[in-house]
Chain A
Amino acid sequence: MSRINKSIPFWRREQFTPFLLLMPAILILLLVVLLPLLFSLYTSFTGYRLIRPDSLYNWVGFRNYERIFTNANFWYAFGRTVLFLTIALNLEFLFGLGIALLINKITWGQRTLRTIMMFPMMFSPILVGYQFKFIFNDNIGILNNALQALGLSDGAIPWLVDKQLAMFSIIFAEVWMSTSIFAILLLAGLFAMPRDPLEAAKVDGCNPWQVFRHITLPFLMPFAFIAMTIRSLDVARAYDIVDVMTGGGPAGRTELLWTLIARVGYDNSRMGQANAMAYVSILLSIAFTYYFFRKLIAARRYMGGAD
């Protein structure tokens, strides 16, 4: 219990010291994060059009939000983003886990492999988009040509047009680019793993599956949930790859939230409405982050590591 000395000004009191030390960081955060957020929140209640700066003061109340709630295209894009996120994250987790477990077994050349594994992350998403746009091109693409040359297909498969295949193609590109994030974080988890429980389990007669299922996996889950939180925020913002590969089309078949928002905000210049869409879609990110954090805390509690 600290003594309160009334002669000391409040900002010099001990319990205020942490706040005082954090003040520069808080101020900068307010300035660069909160202020733009508040501004864009304000514009979502206006008829702000990018090409008419004076429309910034055109207050329209909840009109933008009302339109969103009756706009089927927006909710389709919303649903598609949730689907995209769920499939991409699960695949990235599974592949990342597999790669991490395999690399962990290697005793020679591990560093080189770790570096090679990071290569896809080093490309700009736009380049990755162009690369896969070319691979999946129905006419001149490598994939169709390879399938035809091997006699596996005699027609041009419309990878970027077909309803299922188009989503598959952009998920494939996303997974190709970002699986290594999971792999690297899970590998870090494997490196940090104590050997004792593993050896104790072996002594107790556990088979490798039981060791993996009951010791390795629970230990890795906090790492997985951290990766999922980061990636869910990333994937929910997916734009570059999709824009380059399909532009959200055809007929909105691959339209995700951010390709739609960018079109409304920039091409149609309706920044007010785009910001309203962005605020509704942030709910998605908050929901996923909340879910993964709860899972993270549960996983750490299971391991006896957190309260």
Chain B
Amino acid sequence: MKKTTLRILAAATALPLLMTGVSFAEDIDYGKFDGYTLRVKLIGGAQYEPLYAEIENWEKMTGAKVDVLSRKNHFELDREIKQDIAAGTLDWCVGSNHTSFAPQYGSIYIDLNGVIAPETLAEFQELALANSTVDGRLVQLPRHSDISNLYYKKSLYEDQANKDKFKEKHGYDLAPPETWVQFKDQAIFFANAPEFYGTQYVGKDEAITGRFYEMLVAEGGSLFDEDWNPTFNSEAGVRAVQWFKDLYDAKAVPAGVLNYLWDDTGLGFASGTVALNLDWAGWASFFNDPANSKVAGDIGLVRAPVGSGGKRSGWSGSHTFSITDTCDNKEAAASFVSFLTSHERQMIEARKGLLPTRGKVWDEAIAEFAAADNDFMVEVFETYSQSMAEDAFTPPLIAPWIEVSNELWPRLQAAILGEMTPQEALDQAAESAREVMEDAGYL
């Protein structure tokens, strides 16, 4: 008995050592920074943490220490960074960043061209690097990407009674939606509030602005014309807002949806009370894990629907790392961000469903899932790979984006709640957005 316990203990102790050995076996030389302490501010949250467990390996390889000054969600981190800029306390080196947020920070982050080796940069997807570039400067190194596709509860679509009833009502066969109109039809069809909902959407902050934006594009509209005049109060814009409003009025989404953010929609789908869920790949393994999710084993996935403009929605962006201009050891900082975005580290995130920004990691991750007979994750990666290649587009990479978003989303909410018509709401938002763009010197 005692011997067995000892053996287990010995094995348990050896395992991390072996694993460390594997990490050390990397070919890449991350340099030596003995005694140096690298100060960093990172985005926090369940899906971001597994990568941070790797930080101690970088510390072992380089002899440096990492002092994590903050680990917050991106909205809070954004406020903190703005305060640092105002107070002149940018006394840290590496910060988490995002393609949508980066343009507003001006020149606090350095251009990584020339700091990160060209052969390393060449391993990243071109589009991911292009989206990380602001005014010709590569101000961030992409960590993982984000785009949404449509998860659905498979059993609902296999049920013969559902198929018959749907065909009778709508005159076409029940199959996972290909267009936004079908998405709406089916969401309303499946809804039975308050026990079961057709779908749900994120209802506030930049989240709903982003959803509106991608639908606007899919409907054939645009946020701005080429001279930066707001043009989202178009017919396409009204159609996009009407989609949200119709679902809300039909009680196909929970009544509190305008207070929902990403966690609410993800957890809602996992609770088994929602038929369709447009979401990022970061949830995939969670959704299919019986310990967390009631829909595990019953999930289908299709690409995001097509709008009446003939285009698929594909609002996209990347979580990234940046290095401050005030950093006292840019070499160590560059080593750190290279390490966190390396092939091995991206594989760790890919296994959780986060979309890599290195081309090779995609292939290797799919091969690994296939070898483990994890058909669901193979399907997830193949679907997302296609949408990243064909559908992805970012919001305008301009400094006033968040400010324009803050003018838009309360008006979208007002239209959904029926306080004003979609046209009135968009006209008002366009007028305010024009003022923002004028102040920022775009008009």
| A interacts with B | yes
- Among B45-91, those with CB < 8 Å from A are 75, 78-79, 82-83, 85-86, 88
Asked if A252 and B414 sit within 8 Å, CB to CB, the answer is: yes
Residues in B whose Cβ lies below 8 Å from that of A269: 82, 104, 403
Asked if A267 and B402 sit within 8 Å, CB to CB, the answer is: yes
- Among B245-266, those with CB < 8 Å from A are 254-256, 258-259
The 0/1 profile, CB within 8 Å of A marked 1, for residues 382-424 of chain B is 0000000000000000000011001000110110110100000
Cβ of B82 to closest chain A Cβ, rounded Å: 4
Select which of B193, B255, B410 is within 8 A of A249 by beta carbon: B410
Q: Determine the distance from Cα of A50 to Cα of B90 in the docked complex, in whole angstroms.
A: 13
Write the chain A residue with the least CB distance to B258. Answer: A250
Residues in A whose Cβ lies below 8 Å from that of B230: none
Q: Is B349 an interface residue (CB 8 A)?
A: no
- Among A253-267, those with CB < 8 Å from B are 255, 263, 266-267
Residues in A whose Cβ lies below 8 Å from that of B256: 137-139, 156, 158-161
Residues in A whose Cβ lies below 8 Å from that of B16: none
Write the chain A residue with the least CB distance to B268. Answer: A139
Select which of B193, B255, B414 is within 8 A of A251 by beta carbon: B414
- Whether A161 touches B85, Cβ cut-off 8 Å, given contacts A139-B194, A249-B204, A251-B414, is no
Cβ of A243 to closest chain B Cβ, rounded Å: 11
Cβ of B363 to closest chain A Cβ, rounded Å: 39
- Whether A138 touches B254, Cβ cut-off 8 Å, given contacts A51-B85, A251-B417, is yes
Asked if B82 and A266 sit within 8 Å, CB to CB, the answer is: yes
Q: Determine the distance from Cα of A161 to Cα of B79 in the docked complex, in whole angstroms.
A: 26
Q: Number of residues in B with C-beta < 8 Å to the partner?
A: 35
Asked if B79 and A156 sit within 8 Å, CB to CB, the answer is: no
- Whether A156 touches B193, Cβ cut-off 8 Å, given contacts A161-B259, A247-B204, is yes
Q: Is A90 an interface residue (CB 8 A)?
A: no
- Among B367-388, those with CB < 8 Å from A are none
- Among A121-173, those with CB < 8 Å from B are 137-140, 144, 148, 155-161
Residues in A whose Cβ lies below 8 Å from that of B410: 249-252, 255
Cβ of A139 to closest chain B Cβ, rounded Å: 5
Asked if B259 and A250 sit within 8 Å, CB to CB, the answer is: yes
Cβ of A256 to closest chain B Cβ, rounded Å: 14
Residues in B whose Cβ lies below 8 Å from that of A139: 194, 254-256, 268, 273
Q: Determine the distance from Cα of A247 to Cα of B406 in the docked complex, in whole angstroms.
A: 12
Cβ of B79 to closest chain A Cβ, rounded Å: 5
- Among B210-260, those with CB < 8 Å from A are 254-256, 258-259
Write the chain B residue with the least CB distance to A266. Answer: B79
Q: Is B205 an interface residue (CB 8 A)?
A: yes
Q: Is B106 an interface residue (CB 8 A)?
A: yes
User: Could you tell me the dominant secondary structure of chain B's interface residues?
Assistant: helix
Asked if B88 and A53 sit within 8 Å, CB to CB, the answer is: yes
Residues in B whose Cβ lies below 8 Å from that of A252: 410, 413-414
Q: Is B177 an interface residue (CB 8 A)?
A: no
Q: Determine the distance from Cα of A263 to Cα of B254 in the docked complex, in whole angstroms.
A: 26
Select which of A53, A161, A266, A271 is within 8 A of B258 by beta carbon: A161
Q: Number of residues in A with C-beta < 8 Å to the partner?
A: 32
Q: Is A246 an interface residue (CB 8 A)?
A: yes
Q: Is A6 an interface residue (CB 8 A)?
A: no
Asked if B194 and A156 sit within 8 Å, CB to CB, the answer is: yes
Residues in A whose Cβ lies below 8 Å from that of B75: 267
Q: Is A86 an interface residue (CB 8 A)?
A: no
Q: Is A12 an interface residue (CB 8 A)?
A: no
- Among A216-236, those with CB < 8 Å from B are none
Select which of A47, A148, A266 is within 8 A of B194 by beta carbon: A148
Q: Determine the distance from Cα of A278 to Cα of B205 in the docked complex, in whole angstroms.
A: 23
Asked if A271 and B403 sit within 8 Å, CB to CB, the answer is: no
Cβ of A18 to closest chain B Cβ, rounded Å: 38
Asked if A250 and B413 sit within 8 Å, CB to CB, the answer is: yes
Residues in B whose Cβ lies below 8 Å from that of A105: none
- Whether A50 touches B255, Cβ cut-off 8 Å, given contacts A155-B193, A249-B410, A267-B402, is no
Q: Determine the distance from Cα of A288 to Cα of B47 in the docked complex, in whole angstroms.
A: 47
Residues in B whose Cβ lies below 8 Å from that of A267: 75, 78-79, 402-403, 406
Q: Is A17 an interface residue (CB 8 A)?
A: no
Q: Is A268 an interface residue (CB 8 A)?
A: yes
Q: Is B24 an interface residue (CB 8 A)?
A: no
Asked if B254 and A246 sit within 8 Å, CB to CB, the answer is: no
Asked if A51 and B413 sit within 8 Å, CB to CB, the answer is: no
- Among B273-332, those with CB < 8 Å from A are 273
Residues in A whose Cβ lies below 8 Å from that of B273: 139
Q: Determine the distance from Cα of A255 to Cα of B414 in the docked complex, in whole angstroms.
A: 13
Residues in B whose Cβ lies below 8 Å from that of A160: 256, 259
Q: Is A195 an interface residue (CB 8 A)?
A: no
- Whether A51 touches B204, Cβ cut-off 8 Å, given contacts A161-B255, A252-B414, is no
Residues in B whose Cβ lies below 8 Å from that of A53: 85-86, 88
Residues in B whose Cβ lies below 8 Å from that of A144: 194
Residues in A whose Cβ lies below 8 Å from that of B271: 140
Residues in B whose Cβ lies below 8 Å from that of A251: 258, 410-411, 413-414, 416-417, 419
Q: Is B105 an interface residue (CB 8 A)?
A: yes
Asked if B85 and A155 sit within 8 Å, CB to CB, the answer is: no
Q: Determine the distance from Cα of A157 to Cα of B88 in the docked complex, in whole angstroms.
A: 47
Q: Determine the distance from Cα of A252 to Cα of B258 in the docked complex, in whole angstroms.
A: 11
Asked if A51 and B82 sit within 8 Å, CB to CB, the answer is: yes
Q: Is B198 an interface residue (CB 8 A)?
A: no
Q: Is A52 an interface residue (CB 8 A)?
A: yes
Between B205, B256, B259, B402, the greatest number of chain A beta carbons within 10 A of the residue's beta carbon is seen for B256
Q: Is B203 an interface residue (CB 8 A)?
A: yes
Q: Determine the distance from Cα of A160 to Cα of B254 in the docked complex, in whole angstroms.
A: 12
Q: Determine the distance from Cα of A140 to Cα of B255 in the docked complex, in whole angstroms.
A: 12
Asked if B413 and A249 sit within 8 Å, CB to CB, the answer is: yes
Write the chain B residue with the least CB distance to A136. Answer: B256
Q: Determine the distance from Cα of A269 to Cα of B80 in the docked complex, in whole angstroms.
A: 12
Residue ranges of A at the interface with B (Cβ–Cβ < 8 Å): 47, 50-53, 137-140, 144, 148, 155-161, 246-247, 249-252, 255, 263, 266-271
Known A137-B256, A155-B194; further 19 A-B contacts with Cβ < 8 A: A47-B439, A50-B82, A50-B83, A51-B85, A51-B105, A51-B106, A52-B106, A138-B194, A139-B194, A139-B254, A140-B271, A155-B255, A161-B256, A161-B417, A251-B413, A251-B416, A267-B79, A267-B406, A269-B82
The 9 sampled A-B contact pairs (Cβ below 8 Å) are A51-B85, A139-B255, A155-B194, A155-B255, A156-B254, A249-B204, A250-B413, A266-B83, A269-B82
4 residue pairs, one from A and one from B, having the closest CB atoms: A158-B255, A138-B256, A156-B194, A250-B258
